[in-house]
Amino acid sequence: MNKIILISLLVVIGIIISASLLLIPNNESAESQSQLIYDDGFTYYDIEKIQNTLAQQNIFVSSPTAITDSTIDQYCTYFQKGLPRSVEYCTTTVVVNIEGDTIGNINIGGNTQSPILAIANLESATLESNPEETVTIFETMIETLVCDCWDEEKSTDYESPSAWIDDVKKFYYDSGQRSIKSKIDNLADYEIFLEITNNDGSILQTLIILK
């Protein structure tokens, strides 16, 4: 009888261990998938490519500064399934035009090893103030951080980033100048958002690129 009881207990223990082992890979798989999102695509070093490209258009982008205090959410918050998400690490730069005016910033955030999002905030007196600068900065970010493949992606609804931006601006005016958001989610598996909002008498145009 003792032998039978011992065998039965071993079988039960074996079943419990097997069930536990089946659960562990699922968590590891989720973590691995999350890590792949961070590791894939653009990096923090890509800000140098953006700096060099925009410098050719007489737009200056400062060296990135790390945000380490409680204001990090002001620079690198993004939304996922309608909820705000924070990041562990965020860098910000200042964008200055040829006249020496500060027109916004470019922020990149994620964990300390790799980013998951990039945000360009451009502020102007009106929506038509220096529109060429806005298009140049947004196009440069998309081509550098996502891909230079807009023309090749047949599923996109617009022939170019500038066409998309123009259409969003038109919708903004047609909506009575209320805050609006547009999304492109079929370009190299990235999510790209463009927001236009009123900001105390000025206009804030925000481009968000999310892995």
Rounded CA-CA distance 41/188 in Å is 10
Name, in order, each residue with C-beta under 8 angstroms of 199's C-beta and a sequence gap of 6 or more: 123
Dihedral of alpha carbons 62, 68, 74, 78, sign: positive
Tell me the pTM: 0.81
- Check if the beta carbon of residue 108 is closer than 8 Å to that of residue 117: yes
Instruction: Enter the DSSP assignment of 62.
Output: P
| Amino acid sitting at position 148 | D
Q: Give the pair of three-digit tokens for residue 36.
A: 């792949």
Task: State residue 79's pLDDT score.
Answer: 83
Task: State residue 163's pLDDT score.
Answer: 94
Task: State residue 156's pLDDT score.
Answer: 63
Phi, psi values for residue 108, rounded to 5°: -130, 130
pLDDT, block means (10 residues), the chain with 211 residues? 35 36 41 58 97 98 94 90 89 97 97 96 94 96 95 77 95 93 91 93 96 92
Which of 59, 76, 58 lies closest to 67 in space, CA to CA?
76
Rounded CA-CA distance 137/57 in Å is 9
